[in-house]
Structure 1
Amino acid sequence: MTVGGKMKEAGQQIAAGGSAGLVEVSLMHPLDVIKTRFQIQGGPQGEMYGTSMVDLVKKMYRTEGALSVYKGILPPILAETPKRAVKFFTFEQYKSVFLFGAPSPTALTFTLAGLCSGLTEGFIINPFEVVKVRLQAERLRFSQQTSAFTLARSVFRENGFGRNGFYKGLTATLGRHGVFNMIYFSFYHNIKQYFPEAKSPKLEFGRKFAIGLCAGTLASTINIPFDVAKSRIQGPQPVPGEVKYRTCFKTMKTVYAEEGFFALYKGLLPKIMRLGPGGAIMLLVYEHAYDWLKHNT
């Protein structure tokens, strides 16, 4: 393939990945807010947001307004296009790196490419995650909430890009995205080959959606301890002025010791409800957008 052809292909992958991210976050963001609220409560704070999804949503609606489930959506919207573009583009590039001389991708190829794409994605997205979690944790009505840009300026002014600023919780973010993408891409591409393509477009859509749903659900279940640690580190601390949650694995150890094993799985239900179907939506939108771009650009 010529240099021009490679650049065109890269542009198509980036555009398709960005489209997939924008569609997914627009549909599924409320579940991400609910997940974050569950993950940051615990210990001395008790059940400050709610004891169940229904209870939490009722409290948010009553005290913060109907739009409260869309808190923190601007950073993901601004980030999702480049974030998902990076996810899918780097996955395609890493696939060629990890062929190891094989004529076509192997199971190991998909696994390593997924891991590396997740680590790349996590590094790029961490500043947006810091702002998003802070916004999602605010217990104010939507109209009273701090703007994403104001909060971002505040974080930068106070702590810059360091471990207490935009790259706070980086290890946990890398773990979350690395593990998720490794399982997500590996499961989808390895399992898909065992289920033959359906002749009916509707059945083929259902086949891909079901495999994508399983991939997103499995990846979400396995990586959630990193997600909990990330939310605790980047969110408000139990005692104002005191930093309790500093590093990824120490935070996991603290949560486990004080709140038990299942505290590492807080927010699992809304996470699965978001990234199960959300994972399927992303793969389907990406594949259809990429296919359309290849045939029309």
Structure 2
Amino acid sequence: MAVEDEEYEALPMGVGTGVHMLAGAMAGISEHAVMFPVDSIKTRMQVFSTSPAAVYSSLGNAVARISSTEGLRTLWRGVASVIVGAGPAHALYFGTYELVKETTGGNRPGHHVAATALAGACATISHDALMNPFDVIKQRMQLYGSSYRNVAQCARSVYQNEGLIAFYVSYPTTLMMTVPFTAVQFSTYESMKKFLNPEGTYSPLTHVTAGGIAGGVAAAVTTPLDVAKTLLQTRGTSDDIRIRNARGMVDAFKIIWQRNGIWGFARGISPRVLTYMPSNALCWLCYEFFKVVIGDASRGSSHATVAVP
């Protein structure tokens, strides 16, 4: 059979998981680095602050005020944390996803929403266990008036003042958010990809479109849980005793409801959706691209090894 007839996802024997993990790591770093400034604004809009300088009415208002008072470079503060964590976390994420999807029959012809949703949920549990501490550090550094200037300083301060629990107090809430987020995202992405590209060929436009739609839908649906997660991850910086003593998702939900009512659960929805649509599109584009490039290189190496004189 000619090499050209192989499907781009048909990876060589023995290298499939490694390719998916390496492609996922590259995709994760690309995604988080590019969209980090919008994520910083989202974090600030979700935090309950008593300082008028840290209250923003909209995405545009936040950009204007931050650029005029702090400088746009402020929006990149904490990016090192997600770059350090995103590589290994996304490698584990995509490696788990592809392994579980293959095991549960998600790669067979046709639509297999349950298999892809399960694979996405398993991938999320493993990813968040590794990424949660880095996310806590990132959000502490993103806050208005943050005194942290590097990842190590922030990590030491949080550990010394609040203990190890501070890095994982939001983990149950994070899972409550990211498991449905990933289930919606992956099932939407796979369905859209098969609808837009039934031949299953490598198509950057398909990956961008399907990834963007999937990210936007999943982000909007899970915003209430993201608000609760942000409250828990930044509680140690608050001067509000109730927020500082919040122990989990139930406490966070009560505080949000009492402070802002139903609208409190939509805090930061615009920058969140605007973050996840392009970042998810970029993530899938990079993932599929690196999967092709690394897979082709692996095929070339494999063919060279078994070549008959």
What interval of TM-score do these two structures reach, taking the shorter chain for normalisation?
0.7 to 0.9
Equivalent residue in structure 1 for 2:164, among 161, 164, 176: 161
Equivalent residue in structure 2 for 1:12, among 19, 27, 40: 19
Computing the radius of gyration from Cα coordinates, the structure with the larger value is 2
Question: Following the alignment from structure 1 to structure 2, what is the Cα–Cα distance between the partners of residues 36 and 16?
Answer: 28
Residue 48 of structure 1, CA deviation: 2.8
Cα-Cα RMSD: 2.7
Please say if 1:57 is aligned against 2:53: no
Query: Residue type matched to 1:150 in 2?
Result: Q
Question: Following the alignment from structure 2 to structure 1, what is the Cα–Cα distance between the partners of residues 121 and 257?
Answer: 26
Q: Which runs of 4+ in 1 moved over 3 A?
A: 44-47, 99-105, 196-201
**Match of residue 185 from structure 2:** 184
Question: Following the alignment from structure 2 to structure 1, what is the Cα–Cα distance between the partners of residues 127 and 201?
Answer: 35
* TM-score where L is the length of structure 2: 0.83
Pairs within 5 Å for 1:89-168:
89-99=95-105, 106-139=112-145, 145-162=148-165, 165-168=166-169
| Structure 2: gaps spanning 5 or more residues | 1-11, 299-309
**Match of residue 305 from structure 2:** none
**Match of residue 29 from structure 2:** 22
| Structure 1: gaps spanning 5 or more residues | none
Maintained 8 Å contact 2:224/2:266: yes
**Match of residue 290 from structure 2:** 289
Question: Following the alignment from structure 2 to structure 1, what is the Cα–Cα distance between the partners of residues 272 and 196?
Answer: 27
Query: Residue type matched to 2:252 in 1?
Result: T
* TM-score where L is the length of structure 1: 0.87
**Match of residue 223 from structure 1:** 222
Maintained 8 Å contact 2:169/2:233: yes
SS for the counterpart of 2:155 is helix
Maintained 8 Å contact 2:78/2:142: yes
**Match of residue 35 from structure 1:** 42
**Match of residue 249 from structure 1:** 250
Maintained 8 Å contact 1:20/1:282: yes
- In terms of mean alpha carbon deviation, does 90-99 or 122-131 score higher? 90-99
Question: Following the alignment from structure 1 to structure 2, what is the Cα–Cα distance between the partners of residues 107 and 199?
Answer: 17
Residue 199 of structure 1, CA deviation: 11
- In terms of mean alpha carbon deviation, does 97-106 or 208-217 score higher? 97-106
**Match of residue 75 from structure 1:** 81
Query: Residue type matched to 2:133 in 1?
Result: P
1:147-168 CA-to-partner distances (Å, cap 9, x unmatched) read 2111101222334422xx2212
Question: Following the alignment from structure 1 to structure 2, what is the Cα–Cα distance between the partners of residues 135 and 294?
Answer: 37
Question: Following the alignment from structure 2 to structure 1, what is the Cα–Cα distance between the partners of residues 140 and 25?
Answer: 24
Question: Following the alignment from structure 1 to structure 2, what is the Cα–Cα distance between the partners of residues 126 and 267?
Answer: 20
Question: Following the alignment from structure 1 to structure 2, what is the Cα–Cα distance between the partners of residues 185 and 208?
Answer: 12
Pairs within 5 Å for 1:192-203:
192-196=193-197
Question: Following the alignment from structure 2 to structure 1, what is the Cα–Cα distance between the partners of residues 140 and 129?
Answer: 18
